[in-house]
Structure 1
């Protein structure tokens, strides 16, 4: 009986570690800085597009000075999984910002790859 319980415990731990490492929320796991994402947000509330400063204040983001191709650019940089940013935006819009009925479109590149798009709410 002890061997069965011990084996079950080890199997459960391995299953949870595998799920956490390769799942959507992997940015909480072992190697938090395994991706570098550059992203931009477009937020519209009541047909008014928020400025970059207003968007930074709304979600508590900061701009970073980023050296690229011989010049500095101000960018939003996420050194963990981009799912972290999606989580921050969707949680804010589901709670504190739910009465604003904001429309959010995020464009991002992961590790210099192709540009991708994500939007909130998802049914736009």
Structure 2
């Protein structure tokens, strides 16, 4: 049975999509952020974000409004997703603010680590 042109195009698009997904999954296994990784990410990160701007520390509600996520919470994703989101905000929308950000986090109850921006 021969495929018609529309069927070949559809098959080609499906194969391209599957290939992209496979490449994204393999890539995600070797990067800390793991945005496209479909495998379960079984860590829990407890974090606290402190934002200092113009000598004042932003309140939790101001920080939530700034980044659109809670500044003192936990997540089941890689902590690098959070750190990437903060860095992207600070290098675009918040570039003129001169804010100093400190993220204190603990992965699976292990000792706390600290990440700062600017580095």
Q: How many correspondences in the alignment?
A: 99
Structure number, greater radius of gyration: 2
Q: CA deviation at 1:22?
A: 2.8
The within-5 A match list for 1:10-25 is 17-25=25-33
Cα offset for 1:34?
1.9
Gaps of 5+ in 2: 1-20
Whole-Å separation in 2 of the counterparts to 1:57 and 1:98: 16
After TM superposition, the score normalised by the length of structure 1 is: 0.70
Give yes or no for the alignment of 1:88 onto 2:69: no
CA RMSD of aligned residues (A): 2.1
Q: Which of 96, 108, 112 lines up with 2:109 in the alignment?
A: 112
Per-residue deviation at 1:51?
0.7
Partner in structure 1 of residue 68 of structure 2: 60
Aligned pair in 2 of structure 1 residues 16, 92: CA closer, same or farther (>3 Å)? closer
SS at 1:22 equivalent: coil
Query: Does residue 1:101 correspond to 2:98, yes or no?
Result: yes
Q: Distance in 1 between matches of 2:78 and 2:63?
A: 20
Q: Per residue, is there more strand in 1 or in 2?
A: 1
